[in-house]
Amino acid sequence: LRAGAPTSWSDLNPLTGTMTGNLWGYGKEDGKISQHACFLTAFPYMYSPSVWHKNYPVAQGDRQSPIDIVPHQASHDPSLGPVVLNYDQCTSIKIANNGHSVVVEFDDSDDRSVIRGGPLDNPYRLKQFHFHWGVKGCHGSEHTVAGNSYASELHLVHWNAVKYTTFGEAATAPDGLAVLGIFLQTGDDHRWLNMITDALYTVKFKGSAADFKGFNPKCLLPSSLHYWTYLGSLTTPPLHESVIWIVVKDPITVSEKQFKTSLYISLSDDFKEDGHNNFLIRLRVLLILFLFYPMSRTHISLIFSQNV
């Protein structure tokens, strides 16, 4: 049930939503590189997605993520509305380098920064966002589209503060988290991403953090929020099936310099290696909902059978 997963949830503390330093699950198997992370575990590198089910039976569950999205198999679901993002730049707190990813954390003590609409029954508070990337500008996204990966994937992590009192409680609940996924491809320079890449020079070393105030992540998003959505999971152990995934169709574009130079300042040497291994475990049927024209509230839903 695993698509390839470079930098991931490995350091996301399920109790606090913050990133902490733990073993990263990149490891070589049969000559290939397994680019998956170990989530709050002391697992050695050989513990890859192919054996996660031994310690986490939910790995063989029906809503495991990531998946391969097949757009042409979409069908209409008129019940969905557009996704609405209300982010307050005053809630950004700090930027951190955990050795694997860039993480920007937010004050989630109130509803100043939330996502609502689409498949969500109520607002979800923004906790943090982080990046996932491969090496040399390719194969970095966790989700794939028709079998093709993007250079990187941005995840904005939100939690359901209406139903749950803490991020940790929400992280284990079926409707506890909502993650907005944005694909990145290489091309022209992204002017707003420079705010992050410039700040990385203040957090050059693994484990370092710095104040990062006044940043609204909405500036990173594409102009169109056409999306796919499905009920999924955390992509690394403990693999809680607690995530409502909202994966935006249109990618944003970043330059080679931004991607290969500035973003890689946060990667430790252990992870600067090519490779992307999709684990094809079994056939399952997923419901994917694709928001096609968010302004006119015209939508497409997708039911498909997919090896993921």
294: nearest Cα among 230, 243, 244, 246:
246
CA–CA separation, 123 and 161 (whole Å): 8
Q: How far apart are CA 166 and CA 144, in angstroms?
A: 31
CB contact set of 83 (below 8 Å; sequence gap of 6+): 115, 116, 117, 118, 120, 180, 225, 227, 246, 291, 294
Active-site residue among 36, 53, 76, 100?
A: 100
Catalytic residue flag (residue 143): no
**How long, in residues, is the chain?**
308
The rounded distance, in Å, linking the Cα atoms of 219 and 139 is 24
- Residue 129: C-alpha distances to residues 5, 47, 54, 143, 186 (Å): 16, 26, 30, 16, 20
Distance set, CA 184 to CA 84, 126, 192, 220 (Å): 21, 20, 13, 10
Question: Mind telling me the catalytic residues?
Answer: 100
